[in-house]
């Protein structure tokens, strides 16, 4: 099957650490901690400006072979990209663990999309996968900038090295897949869907690498990122949004697990990292109800929607839900347990699919 591929005119700048967490840290009484957070926020703001001004990614020639083409660079703790090349495709492992983890993470993500979804790299046409490690001084984030992955080292107090979490690598590269397919807006419910899709495929990358079933998976995003000063499990929980952390450093996880808790805010592009908990939990409910390996059936439904050409850039939860219902019925049949699981999953989080609601705008909360 040939998947949809579109060009993103202005690729969005997507970070794994939400602005609300960095804002919280920037207000800390610990000046060193606050200073690191402010510097990370400033770097992220500067990168967003660069992304808006940058040219779109150049078209790529189809790859001759369906194999990864990875290049890892070292920024040397400065903020110039891509940095110095330190490992290319097929090269032996180096002494730098961050380089090797980035290389392996890119490979695991490539493998899931190729073997699980018959997709040849991020763009479906063998796009080279580039990544830069050791970006900035104690930079507390990782991001996809529309062209490549970038990893900070973390500060060792709040956040560990950002190459340590495989699902984070998968999450950020999945933003690239969205960029080349549905190209969802990074605002409001469409932006929350953009973030949720990345959490879904980031979690699937980890589950695929570990050979886990949906029942065996932890459904946590960034479980390896939180360092010693934080009491928490991860950045987000797809199984139970709002429970990933609750401590004096980061505050309490603000993600809602259903529309009853939907957060209407102008911050973070309309709460894209917060309200993503709702479709995240819907996917968890679907995957565990179906059972087995989540990328084999539940993941196929989400992938069909992302790449099928019917998902509008500004889609809301209700519209996305309806497309998953249609995709499940088309792939598995109207009497299938997969379709029943999709319908029940969205019902569990309070989202009514668009045609059942009578309007694509039904059952949503607008964001400005």
pLDDT in tens, 321-352: 999 999 999 999 999 999 999 999 999 999 99
Of 138, 172, 195, 338, the active-site residue reads 172
Q: What confidence score (pLDDT) does residue 41 get?
A: 83
The answer to whether residues 41 and 129 belong to one domain is yes
Does some domain include residue 9? no
Does residue 134 sit in the same domain as residue 272? no
**Alpha-carbon torsion (231, 235, 240, 242), positive or negative:** positive
- Per-residue model confidence as pLDDT tens digits over 85-97: 999 999 999 999 9
Distance in angstroms (rounded) separating the CA atoms of residues 88 and 364: 46
Q: Is residue 264 a part of any domain in this protein?
A: yes
Q: Are residues 269 and 314 in the same domain?
A: yes
* Cα Rg, the chain, nearest whole Å: 19
Tell me what pLDDT residue 13 has: 66
Q: Above 70 in pLDDT, residue 268?
A: yes
Select from 128, 163, 180 the last residue of a domain: 180
Q: Does the pLDDT value for residue 266 go beyond 80? A: yes
Note if 172 is an active site residue: yes
Question: Residue 282 is part of which domain span?
Answer: 188-357
CA distance 134 to 81: 11
- Are residues 236 and 126 located together in one domain of the fold? no
The pTM of this model reads 0.90
The model's confidence at residue 62, banded by pLDDT at 50, 70 and 90, is low
State the average pLDDT for the chain: 89
The answer to whether residues 176 and 131 touch, using CB atoms and an 8 Å cutoff, is no
Q: Which of 122, 149, 180 is the last residue of a domain?
A: 180
Whether residue 258 is contained in a domain is answered as yes
Give the Cα separation of 148 and 150 in Å (integer). Answer: 7
Q: Is residue 38 part of a domain?
A: yes
Q: Are residues 297 and 237 in the same domain?
A: yes
Per the model's pLDDT, the better-predicted residue between 204 and 27 turns out to be: 204
Tell me the sheet residues that pair with 130.
71
Res. 206: pLDDT tops 90: yes
State the pLDDT confidence band at 50, using cuts at 50, 70 and 90.
low
Do 166 and 253 belong together in one domain? no
Q: Do residues 240 and 206 both lie within one domain?
A: yes
Q: Are residues 161 and 214 in the same domain?
A: no
Based on the fold, state whether residues 32 and 72 are members of the same structural domain: yes
Q: Are residues 220 and 131 located together in one domain of the fold?
A: no
- In percent, the amount of the chain with pLDDT more than 70 equals 88
Token match 């059942």: residue? Answer: 356
* Residue 362, in any domain of the structure: no
What size, in residues, is the chain? 368
Q: How many domains does the chain have?
A: 2
Catalytic residue among 171, 273, 285, 338: 273
Residues 145 and 284 in one domain: no
Q: Does residue 8 belong to any structural domain of this protein?
A: no
- Identify the CATH number of the domain in which residue 340 sits: 1.10.390.10
Domain annotation covers residue 7: no
**234: confidence class by pLDDT, cuts 50, 70, 90:** very high
Q: What are the tens digits of pLDDT across the range 269-314?
A: 999 999 999 999 999 999 999 999 999 999 999 999 999 999 999 9
Among 151-155, 232-236, 237-241, 357-361, the range scoring the smallest mean pLDDT is 357-361
- For this structure, is 273 an active site residue? yes
Q: Where among 180, 206, 231 does a domain terminate?
A: 180
We report the CATH number of the domain holding residue 157 as 3.10.170.10
Does residue 5 form part of some domain?
A: no
Share of the chain above pLDDT 90, in %: 75
Domain shared by 331 and 211, yes or no: yes
């Amino acid at each position: 099957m040939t998947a949809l591929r579109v060009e993103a005119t202005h690729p969005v700048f997507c970070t794994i650490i939400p602005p609300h967490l960095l804002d919280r840290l920037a207000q800390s009484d610990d000046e060193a901690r606050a200073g690191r957070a402010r510097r990370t926020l400033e770097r992220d703001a500067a990168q967003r400006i660069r992304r808006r001004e940058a040219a779109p990614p150049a078209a790529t020639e189809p790859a001759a072979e369906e194999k990864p083409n990875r290049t890892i660079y070292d920024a040397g703790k400065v903020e110039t990209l891509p940095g110095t090349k330190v490992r290319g495709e097929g090269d032996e492992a180096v002494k730098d663990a961050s380089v090797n983890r980035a290389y392996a993470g890119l490979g695991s993500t490539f493998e899931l999309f190729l073997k699980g979804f018959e997709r040849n790299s991020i763009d479906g046409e063998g796009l080279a996968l580039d990544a830069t490690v050791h970006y900035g001084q104690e930079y507390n984030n990782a991001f996809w900038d529309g062209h490549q992955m970038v990893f900070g080292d973390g500060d060792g107090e709040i956040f560990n090295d950002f190459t340590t979490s495989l699902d984070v690598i998968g999450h950020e590269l999945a933003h690239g897949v969205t960029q080349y397919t549905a190209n969802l807006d990074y605002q409001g419910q469409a932006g929350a869907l953009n973030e949720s899709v990345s959490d879904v495929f980031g979690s699937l990358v980890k589950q695929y690498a570990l050979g886990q079933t949906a029942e065996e998976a932890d459904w946590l995003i960034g479980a390896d990122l939180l360092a010693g000063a934080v009491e928490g499990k991860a950045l987000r929980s797809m199984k139970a949004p709002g429970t990933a952390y609750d401590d004096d450093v980061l505050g309490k996880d603000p993600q809602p697990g259903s529309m009853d808790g939907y957060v209407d805010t102008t911050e973070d592009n309309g709460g894209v990292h917060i309200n993503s908990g709702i479709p995240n939990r819907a996917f968890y409910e679907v995957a565990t109800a179906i059972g087995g390996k989540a990328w084999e059936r539940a993941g196929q439904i989400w992938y069909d929607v992302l790449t099928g050409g019917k998902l509008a850039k500004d889609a809301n939860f209700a519209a996305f839900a309806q497309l998953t219902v249609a995709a499940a019925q088309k792939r598995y049949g109207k009497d299938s347990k997969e379709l029943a699981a999709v319908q029940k999953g969205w019902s569990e989080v309070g989202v009514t699919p668009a045609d059942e609601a009578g309007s694509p705008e039904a059952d949503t909360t607008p964001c400005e």
